[in-house]
Structure 1
Amino acid sequence: MKLIPRPFRGNLSEADIAGLREFVEIVDAGGITAAQARLGKGKSAISLGLSRLENRLAMRLCERGRSGFSLTEQGQMVHSAAVQLLADIGRFNDFVGAAIYKLEDTVTLLADDSFLFEFTEPLTRAIGRIGDRYPDLNLNVRMTSPDHIYASVLEGTADLGFTTLDRHNDALAIAPVCEEQMGIFCGKAHPLFDCDDETLTPEELRQYGFVAAEVTQEEIYSEFVRGLKIRARAPTILSRMLLVLSSRYLGIVPITFAQHWVEKGDIRELRIEGSRTHNICYLVHRKARPLGLGGAIFRGILIDELSASTTVAIRTSDVRRAEIPSSRAVKS
């Protein structure tokens, strides 16, 4: 006689929550095989745990086999509910910890490498404030490339990203918080180093090679840089500056970041009408995994400090994003 599974009554045990955690990781990874590294288990153990969860809930959550991995309609509903449940459990733990003035959490922030120069004071003040308030908070801060920031936030290895790169993604919450001023620079051995800015024209700039850069632009700046020649690429601001210092390439870099080498006489800014722009800086986090209390508090402190320090108003209307140069402006 076939046994009819008993309907789930909504009373979750620790084993149920552990099973739901594994289920969320399997879905995020895209299947059982891909989840092995995340969970530190073999395929058979993961498959057995998933079957136990399905039996417990009395429903099939996903299809797996030669045709690939896919969620059933019920599985999609359970996944959404599990993500919310796990986030709520995390927030509950955070709030209980905060109630006794002890926030035991881990928050990872990845930021553009140039921000160490541009936003040293607001970043250090924000780190100091949350460190003083919650000494048990484990704060991880790393400087890296914008592409790596987005990839890390999406895969969940970083809680927050602070970057100038604006890449629309439905899975991410992307909020503009401040701006950095950008200019065109050349090295001391470049043919334009000793030129008179008053006689320099955009047409003359287009005769020389540029390091590719993705910057937030208004339409007028897109027109200015149209036709510039890309002769090199660099994933980070530091690597872009290395190419500018070689005097073989022109580069669009943050003005504050460049100041150190300007004062040494190694580079100079080429100032002609329209050669400067403002790059919008964004705080990024993943929608599907709401920030815990530690991440939310740190995000709020960052916004406070950055807003208090920036002297440039954020202009989010009529903004364009394009790789320099580009054949046309790309709407963000």
Structure 2
Amino acid sequence: MQPLGRAFRGNLSNTDIASLREFVEIVEAGGLTAAQARLGKGKSAISLTLGRLEERLAMRLCERGRSGFRLTEQGQMVHSAALQLLDEIGRFNDFIGAATQKLEDEISFFCDDSFLYEFGDPLARAIARISDRFPGVKLNLRTTSPDHVCAAVLEGSADLGLTALSRHSEALAAVPVFDERMGIFCGRDHPLFARAGERLSPDDLRGHGFVAAEVTQEEGYSDFVSGLSITARAPTILARMFLVLSSRYLGLMPLAFARTWVANGDIRELSVDGARMVNSCSLIHRKARPLGIGAGILHGMILAEFRGAGG
């Protein structure tokens, strides 16, 4: 492809960076028309900025017209480089803000919905610390299922995750933080409720429906569950509790989470060979996307709180 003019020389100006930001928005929107709402500009103004950027870089970045919007090979390279550049600019701004104690950042943090019941105190203390030290930080916190925590971090919608998934993707960096103890429970109207004090075998569970979690469990437990009758699935602990409370399903629960319902006589843990297990819970983030300053600070504060508490 022939260049549009003289090859790019010199340093990027503020105008160049602004144009690259606009170019990234155009690509993410899928074209100039779709980018109008994102940029708050008319199509002709967007086209003018894009044309000036192409002239500045001396290359054709995209094909646009009746046939649709498509990046050229050079455009793909510039888009990739622009994403890295803008990310580094954001990290530099965060660093300067942190150095002056005026960090302004948005942190997206996902964690398993069951952690509130056993690990809420150290997590709340870490949140309080970052809020007190950096009041300009905006925290987007969501509790969900382990699979969704992992998926959100991998796709980039979460900067940081705390989850009990036992097998992590090679694309994730994981730091073990604490262990979560699990057991099998049944509701008060379940046929096995009266036998909760007995030592049961896996065969005693065979004729009863079991609610499975949509998560990857450790290999030994997966073998245990494979012999049971899976008649329901629930991705979150709260959803699983609804099913167990119905007394129509057996389900795996964190012991600390189940404590309140056990005390009320609503559920009981069954003593079954091989049913007890431990989930190793880890802080995770995507290897290819280094933590920003804000997320990195929160990461360190969470680790400090759990290690200080002996968790």
Q: Identify the TM-score tier after normalising by the shorter chain.
A: 0.7 to 0.9
Deviation at 1:80, TM superposition (A): 3.3
Q: Is the 8 A contact 1:32 1:43 kept in 2?
A: no
Amino acid at match of 1:179: D
Please report how far the alpha carbon of residue 290 of structure 1 lies from its aligned counterpart in structure 2 after TM superposition.
3.1
**Which amino acid in the other structure matches residue 240 of structure 2?**
R
Asked whether the 8 Å contact 2:159–2:291 carries over to 1, the reply is yes
Q: C-alpha distance in 2, partners of 1:283/1:74?
A: 37
In structure 2, give the amino acid aligned to 1:32.
G
Q: What is the deviation of 1:282?
A: 3.0
Q: Which amino acid aligns with 2:274?
A: G
Q: Deviations over 1:85-107 (max 9, x none)?
A: 21221122122222222212221
Q: Give me the whole-angstrom Cα distance separating, in 2, the residues matched to 1:34 and 1:187.
A: 56
Q: Deviations over 1:253-285 (max 9, x none)?
A: 211111111111111111222111122323233
CA offset at residue 113 of structure 1?
Answer: 1.2
Q: Is the 8 A contact 1:187 1:193 kept in 2?
A: yes
DSSP-derived class of the 1:211 partner? strand
Amino acid across the alignment from 2:149: I
Residue 193 of structure 2 aligns with an amino acid whose one-letter code is F
The SS at the match of 1:140 is: strand
1:106 is aligned to 106
- Cα distance in 1 for partners of 2:218, 2:159 equals 30
Alignment of 1:167-316 (within 5 A): 172-309=172-309, 311=311
Give the aligned partner of residue 328 of structure 1. Answer: none
Change (3 A) 1:61 1:285: farther
| Secondary structure of 1:233's aligned partner | strand
List gaps (5 residues or longer) in structure 1: 312-332
3-state SS in 1 of match to 2:54: helix
Amino acid at match of 1:144: T
Please state how far the C-alpha of 1:41 moved relative to its aligned partner. Answer: 5.5
Partner Cα distance (2:25, 2:276) in 1: 45
Q: Helix, strand or coil: the match of 2:109?
A: strand
How many angstroms apart in 2 are the aligned matches of 1:64 and 1:170?
A: 37
- Contact 1:25/1:38 (<8 A) preserved: no
Q: Which residue of 2 aligns with 1:5?
A: 5
Partners of 2:111 and 2:144 within 8 A in 1 = yes
Give the Cα separation in 1 of the matches to 2:208 and 2:215: 19
Q: Is the 8 A contact 2:4 2:60 kept in 1?
A: no
Confirm whether residue 54 of structure 1 aligns to residue 57 of structure 2: no
SS of equivalent residue, structure 1 residue 212: strand
Alpha-carbon separation, structure 2, partners of 1:40 and 1:50:
13
- 1:47-196 equivalences in 2 (<5 Å): 49-62=49-62, 71-165=71-165, 172-196=172-196
> Deviation at 1:162?
1.9
1:326 corresponds in structure 2 to none
Distance 1:70 1:267, change over 3 A: farther
Quick one: distance in 1 between partners of 2:307 and 2:73? 44
Moved more, 275-284 or 48-57: 48-57
> Number of residues paired by the alignment?
309
Letter in 2 for 1:89: I
Residues 1:31 and 2:23 are matched in the alignment: no
Q: Which amino acid aligns with 1:119?
A: F
Please tell me whether the aligned partners of residues 208 and 249 of structure 1 are also in contact (alpha carbons under 8 angstroms). yes
**Contact 1:112–1:146 (CA under 8 A) maintained in structure 2:** yes
Is this contact kept in 2: 1:221–1:274, CA < 8 A? yes
Please give the secondary structure, in 2, of the residue aligned with 1:74.
helix
Q: CA RMSD in A?
A: 3.2
Identical-residue share of aligned pairs (%): 62
Amino acid at match of 1:295: A
Q: Is the 8 A contact 2:29 2:35 kept in 1?
A: no
Residues 87, 290 of structure 1: 8 Å contact kept = no
Q: What's the TM-score, normalizing by structure 1?
A: 0.79
For residue 242 of structure 2, what is the amino acid of its counterpart?
Answer: L
